[in-house]
Amino acid sequence: MKRTEKTQLVIIGAGAAGLMAAAHAGEFGLSTLLLERKHRAGSKLLMCGNGRCNLTSDLSVNDMLSAFGSEVSPFLTPAISAFSATDLQQWFKQNRLPVMRTNDGKIFPASERASDVVHCFTDKLRDTAIPMCLNAPVERIERIDGGFEIHASNFSVTAEKILITTGGISYPKTGSVGDGQRFALALGHHVTPYRPGLVGVAWQDEWLTSNLAERFEGCKVRIFDGDKFIAETRGLVECERWGLGGGAILNATRILSRNNARNPAIEILIKNGTHPIRIDDLRTRPLKEAMVTVGGVVMDEVNPATMESTITPGVYYAGEVLDIDGPTGGFNLTAAFATARLAIKTIATDAGLKQKKSVSSSQEKRDKWKKKHKGSSDRAQSTRSKNKPHKKLSYTEEKRQHWSKRKK
How far, in Å, CA of 265 to CA of 283, rounded? 9
Please report the sign of the dihedral spanned by the C-alpha atoms of residue 239, residue 241, residue 246, residue 250: positive
139 domain-assigned: yes
As for how many domains the chain has, the answer is 3
Model pLDDT, residue 333:
98
Q: What predicted TM-score, i.e. pTM, was given to this entire model?
A: 0.87
215 domain-assigned: yes
Model pLDDT, residue 184:
98
377 domain-assigned: yes
Say which residues have a Cβ less than 8 Å from residue 253's Cβ, sequence separation at least 6.
196, 197, 198, 199, 200, 201, 284
Residues 44 and 15 in one domain: yes
Model pLDDT, residue 274:
84
356 domain-assigned: no
Residues 151 and 132 in one domain: yes
Last residue of a domain, one of 257, 285, 313: 285
Residues 224 and 185 in one domain: no
Say which residues have a Cβ less than 8 Å from residue 28's Cβ, sequence separation at least 6.
344, 345, 348, 353, 354, 355, 356
Those residues of the chain that have pLDDT short of 70 are: 1-4, 358-408
Model pLDDT, residue 154:
87
Last residue of a domain, one of 350, 376, 393: 350
393 domain-assigned: yes
Residues 271 and 313 in one domain: no
Residues 93 and 144 in one domain: yes
Model pLDDT, residue 1:
42
Model pLDDT, residue 369:
58
Domain enclosing residue 228, as ranges: 200-285
Residues 97 and 134 in one domain: yes
Model pLDDT, residue 407:
55
Residues 177 and 41 in one domain: yes
**Helix (H, G, I), strand (E, B), or coil: what is residue 31?**
coil
Model pLDDT, residue 408:
53
**Helix (H, G, I), strand (E, B), or coil: what is residue 378?**
helix
Last residue of a domain, one of 350, 375, 399: 350
158 domain-assigned: yes
358 domain-assigned: no
> Under a CB-based contact definition with an 8 Å cutoff, are residues 119 and 110 in contact?
no
> Under a CB-based contact definition with an 8 Å cutoff, are residues 283 and 201 in contact?
yes
Residues 189 and 95 in one domain: yes
Residues 319 and 344 in one domain: yes
> pLDDT tens digit string along 47-75?
998 999 999 999 999 999 999 999 999 99
Domain containing 116 — which CATH number? 3.50.50.60
Residues 307 and 342 in one domain: yes
355 domain-assigned: no
Model pLDDT, residue 397:
64
Residues 160 and 252 in one domain: no
Say which residues have a Cβ less than 8 Å from residue 31's Cβ, sequence separation at least 6.
7, 8, 9
For every residue of 209-226, DSSP letters joined together read: HHTTT-EEEEEEEEEEET
Model pLDDT, residue 393:
57
Amino acid letter at 113? Answer: R
Residues 98 and 149 in one domain: yes
How far, in Å, CA of 172 to CA of 179, rounded? 11
